[in-house]
Amino acid sequence: MSLFGTDGIRGLANVDLTAELALDVAVAAAHILVENSNDRPRAIVGQDSRASGEFLEAAVVAGLTSAGVDVYRVGVVPTPAVAYLVASTGADLGVMISASHNPMPDNGIKLFQRGGEKLADEVEALVEARIGEPWQRPTGAAVGRVISDDQLVNKYIEHLLSTIDVSLAGLKVVVDCANGASSFTAPVALSRAGAEVIAIANTPDGWNINDGVGSTHLDYLRNAVLKNGADIGIAHDGDADRCLAIDATGAEIDGDVIMAILAKGFKAQGKLKANTIVGTVMSNLGFMHAMAESGIEVVTTAVGDRYVLEAMLQSDFNLGGEQSGHVIMRDHANTGDGLLTALQLLAEVKRSGQTMQELSRVMVRFPQVLINVKNVAKERLATSIAIADAVKAAEAELGSNGRVLLRASGTEPLVRVMVEAQSDAVAQSVATKLAQVVETELR
């Protein structure tokens, strides 16, 4: 089984993801990603707020410097900050230590190549193949040095602010930082953009990341929005590459709605390349219909923002993303960026003169039920005849008014069963039946 999942390496820290593995991955990544460096190779290394990130960062830094790479440690920062800094400083690679929205005991390693892009599957395979191989170690002045520079993140904040051309003055915004990587950037950036900011879950202690807060636990943000009479709530995940929202009434604004709003806004400003947006197979049918009604084409990819980016790069599209809140704006970033998305969404609210609730009417969301069938042999999903037959029967039942998607998680031992239909009852019924088949066949 591959070491790399949908979004880097991820697992239980100190069990699946050990200091030894982190060091070996860092060495292998250095060998692959700096082979053609014309100068002394440099890396940007950041982390989210997990306690395990401390020993994993030490291991990654040790591996890189032992391979002759100078390391710039930027501390607790969002994943997209590392991607941006790799690109803007001309670094040879970047490493982000984070398990994103996963619970605190997990951690992960995300790698970025020159230009700040995530690694393609084939490059990840090359890195994995070179883990543990014999190599000639540099000595003396050829070993890497460590430079701690927590001010580099200011360049990232300034970049974000440069992407909007309207003041956010007059907007009252609650931002849920998930006690994670955005705790020290989101409140600053939103305030500097002119908004009145109420920051919550912005006191990370190493153990409280994603603990009942952030983009996977929206009730905490919803309550704060309603209590404070805010115009909008913004929710990030642990490493701040996602953005979801809550409007003033407490209604959820997911990634599909955010993308629909941005796509229409970009098109109105003449900024949407080829009148096309890139989504994934998880994009809601309502999103598809809304884009068609607006004369915007949708290209779909596999789930994962790196696959979205690959499609965008291949055809030079500049907007894409996922229902989960990963949104990529290639004019400004090479990866999903939750804070960039928040700023652009808030700018659209100001530019349009409409409330978030009014803007969200851009699409009518088809009821969607997602069931995670846990602790199953996900690798057998593609070969199960019984599951394939159950899916065909479900599709026949739904007809053109719904759809079914089953996929194995790239980061966890589970299968995701997704069903869309014209009513919640039908979607729930079909999804429940399919989930039971999956559980029976893959246990």
Domains 167-252 and 253-362 share a fold: yes
pLDDT at 10 over 80: yes
Token pair recorded at residue 118: 């995530």
Select the more confidently predicted residue: 266 or 6: 266
Averaged pLDDT for residues 208-219: 97
Instruction: Please report which confidence band the pLDDT of residue 377 belongs to, taking 50, 70 and 90 as the band edges.
Output: confident
Can you give the pLDDT at residue 409? Answer: 84
Enumerate residues 6+ apart whose C-beta is below 8 A from 7. 100, 108, 110, 118, 304, 305, 306, 410, 411
Handedness of CA 13, 5, 234, 331 (dihedral sign): positive
Instruction: Answer yes or no: CATH 3.50.50.60 is held by domain 167-252.
Output: no
Averaged pLDDT for residues 345-354: 97
In 3D, which of 331, 273, 334, 272 has the Cα closest to residue 305?
A: 334
Can you give the pLDDT at residue 121? Answer: 85
Contact 297, 274 (CB under 8 A): yes
Architecture, CATH, for domain 368-442 = 2-Layer Sandwich (3.30)
Enumerate residues 6+ apart whose C-beta is below 8 A from 354. none
DSSP SS3 for 196: strand
Instruction: Please report which confidence band the pLDDT of residue 135 belongs to, taking 50, 70 and 90 as the band edges.
Output: very high
Averaged pLDDT for residues 215-225: 97
Contact 351, 166 (CB under 8 A): yes
Distance, CA of 62 to CA of 13 (rounded, Å):
18
Can you give the pLDDT at residue 126? Answer: 92
pLDDT at 356 over 90: yes
- The CA distances from residue 111 to 114, 194, 375, 384, in Å, are 10, 34, 27, 34
Options 49, 52, 98, 100, the catalytic residue: 100
Contact 406, 415 (CB under 8 A): yes
Distance, CA of 338 to CA of 77 (rounded, Å):
12
Q: In Å, how far from its chain's centre is CA 239?
A: 8
Can you give the pLDDT at residue 413? Answer: 82
Distance, CA of 304 to CA of 92 (rounded, Å):
23
pLDDT digits (tens, 9 = 90+) for 57-72: 999 999 999 999 999 9
Averaged pLDDT for residues 390-417: 89
Can you give the pLDDT at residue 237? Answer: 97
Q: State the fold for domain 253-362.
A: Alpha-D-Glucose-1,6-Bisphosphate; Chain A, domain 3 (3.40.120)
Distance, CA of 313 to CA of 414 (rounded, Å):
30
DSSP SS3 for 31: helix
pLDDT digits (tens, 9 = 90+) for 290-333: 999 999 999 999 888 888 999 999 999 999 999 999 999 999 99
pLDDT at 250 over 80: yes
As a whole number, the mean pLDDT across the chain is: 94
pLDDT at 37 over 70: no
H helices then E strands: how many in the chain?
14, 18
> Domain ranges in the chain?
9-152, 167-252, 253-362, 368-442
Annotated catalytic residue 409:
no
Distance, CA of 55 to CA of 13 (rounded, Å):
10
Can you give the pLDDT at residue 120? Answer: 83
Instruction: Please report which confidence band the pLDDT of residue 1 belongs to, taking 50, 70 and 90 as the band edges.
Output: low
Cβ neighbours around 148 below 10 Å, total? 11
pTM for the whole structure? 0.89
Architecture, CATH, for domain 9-152 = 3-Layer(aba) Sandwich (3.40)
Can you give the pLDDT at residue 38? Answer: 63
Distance, CA of 235 to CA of 93 (rounded, Å):
28
Can you give the pLDDT at residue 118? Answer: 87
User: What are the beta bridge partners of residue 408?
Assistant: 415
Can you give the pLDDT at residue 74? Answer: 97
Contact 109, 116 (CB under 8 A): no
pLDDT digits (tens, 9 = 90+) for 142-175: 999 999 998 899 999 999 999 999 999 999 999 9
